[in-house]
Amino acid sequence: MTVSATVSAAPWLEQEEQQPLVQIRGVTKKYGEVTAVDNVDLDIYKGELFCLLGGSGCGKSTLLRMLAGFEDLNAGTITIDGVDMADVPAYERPTNMMFQSYALFPHMTVEKNVAFGLEQDHVPKFDIADRVHEILKLVELEDFKKRKPKQLSGGQRQRVALARALVKRPKLLLLDEPLAALDKKLRKQTQFELANIQDKVGVTFIVVTHDQEEAMTLSSRMAVMDAGRFKQIGTPTEIYEFPESRFVADFIGSANIFEGRVIEDGADHVRVETEFCEVFIDHGHSVKEGSKIWVALRPEKIRLDKADAATEGANQTSAVIDDVGYLGETSIYKVRLPNGEVFDVTMPNQSRPTHATTRLTWEDKVNISWDPSSAMLLHS
């Protein structure tokens, strides 16, 4: 069952040996005047858990529905396992979908719901019973197989939907906001469960979600979508640590974004001049000297020290605390820079703030600084 052992951990990096399972080429979908999906290309490899992340109306669900065969393409091709899907109807595609609303058949028991797909393929009866039992065991619902969907809780329904979509062992499983209907605590727990199940069955998953935390936790790779296009495709770490645009830097996590001008572009470093200090980055970027550029800094990568006098040098500046928000595990500080810009800085609350004197508070003069590896250059 564990196919994952034979699948590379990073198949997208071995393009020589690996033939992509899904090839999306120049796919466009229009609804009247509105372009929902705009000429996108994407390769997804066997065994991946790929997330399509974006706000509502960005085209992620439309793309998923085109993969499932519910929507026609206006242009482009979708190839799954080497077969062009253009003339393949939904009921003949090697894909299964888990719907956001779960779409369980209300007039059938859990068992019947799960068996439905196998019956369509005329799998022998005893085989159906075995496979239904096996998959219900995987999602821990063997005791509920005689129940109707109405008699289940939200979390149980979600698992029935997953079992029903997995039981046919599709080449590709499409999941539309699989966790959106669960409450927050259950969602966090289920995120890991879903990733574990994917690992066990070795099926390629494509997950559509608007929740960036969900995408980060689940995915091997993800694509950030906006207005029908991919803004960036990469691993969660790549997307978080090396965003290419202001949209991505801001959409994934939070970022302090400010303008600067490149004053030196070395092979292994870049220097950027800004209104409040010089930013030194200890790795190369292909940027033109003298060009204007955007710089982003993650709130958690900025250090905050109490200091009355300003210190000189790169990657640091004096600031004043404007506001403090205590969030429990961390505190968020709004600090005002000399040029009036306000940065967010987050710091973990490692010790209990028992001594009021050691705590940073409103109107404190501070020095903010960051590592040479922390600042991120954005091209657009």
Residues 6+ apart with CB under 8 A from 137: none
Stretch that binds another protein, among 7-15, 63-71, 243-251, 293-301 (CB under 8 A): 63-71
Stretches 99-107, 236-244, 261-269, 353-361: which one binds another protein (CB under 8 A)?
99-107
In angstroms, what is the minimal distance from the CB of 160 to another protein?
12
Contact 371, 289 (CB under 8 A): no
Edge-to-edge strand order for the sheet containing 376-378? Answer: 278-281, 270-273, 256-265, 292-297, 376-378
Query: According to CB under 8 A, which one of 46, 145, 164, 187 is a site residue for another protein?
Result: 164
Round to whole Å and give the CA distance between 367 and 129: 67
Kindly state the smallest distance separating residue 164's Cβ from another protein, in Å: 7
157 or 298: whose CB is closer to another protein? 157
Min dist CB 261 to another protein, Å, is 53
Among 61, 62, 95, 212, binds another protein (CB under 8 A): 95
Contact 144, 155 (CB under 8 A): no
- The answer to the question of residue 91 lying near another protein (CB under 8 A) is yes
Q: Count the site residues for another protein by CB under 8 A.
A: 30
Which part of the chain contacts another protein (CB under 8 A), choosing from 17-25, 116-124, 126-134, 301-309? 116-124
Task: Examine residue 375 and tell whether it contacts another protein (CB under 8 A).
Answer: no
Q: Which stretch binds another protein (CB under 8 A): 30-38, 85-93, 241-249, 346-354?
A: 85-93
262 vs 273: CA distance, rounded Å: 6
* Closest to 39 (Cα-Cα) out of 78, 69, 75: 75
Answer yes or no whether residue 39 interacts with another protein by CB under 8 A: no
Tokens at 26, concatenated: 């120049």
* Distance, CA of 169 to CA of 89 (rounded, Å): 18
**Between 106 and 340, CB nearer to another protein:** 106
Closest contact distance (angstroms) between CB of 118 and another protein is 9
- The least CB distance from residue 50 to another protein, in Å, is 19
Question: How many CB atoms neighbour CB 374 within 10 A?
Answer: 19
Cβ count near 357 (within 10 Å) = 5
* Interface residue with another protein, options 59, 117, 178, 228 (CB under 8 A): 117
Q: What span, in angstroms and rounded, lies between the C-alpha atoms of 52 and 225?
A: 7
Site for another protein in 167-206 (CB under 8 A): 168
- Minimum Å gap between C-beta 183 and another protein is 10
Q: Which of 16, 33, 92, 308 binds another protein (CB under 8 A)?
A: 92
Tell me how far apart the alpha carbons of residues 339 and 190 are, in angstroms, rounded to a whole number: 45
The single residue among 83, 90, 310, 342 that binds another protein, judged by CB under 8 A, is 90
Q: Residue 108: how many CA atoms within 13 Å on its side-chain side?
A: 15
Residue 225 neighbours by CB distance under 10 Å? 25
Cα 180 to Cα 188: distance, rounded to the nearest angstrom: 11
Residue 116 binds to another protein (criterion: CB under 8 A): yes
Distance of closest approach, residue 53 Cβ to another protein, in angstroms: 23
> Which distant-in-sequence residues (6+ apart) come within 8 Å of 165 by Cβ?
96, 97, 98, 173, 175
Residue 162 binds another protein (CB under 8 A): no
C-alpha 43/C-alpha 207 separation (Å) is: 15
The answer to whether 96 contacts another protein (rule: CB under 8 A) is yes
Residue 121: count other Cβ atoms within 10 Å of its Cβ: 8
Under rule CB under 8 A, residue 148 binds another protein? yes
Site residues (vs another protein, CB under 8 A):
68-70, 89-93, 95-97, 99, 101, 103, 105, 107, 116-117, 120-121, 148, 150-156, 164, 168
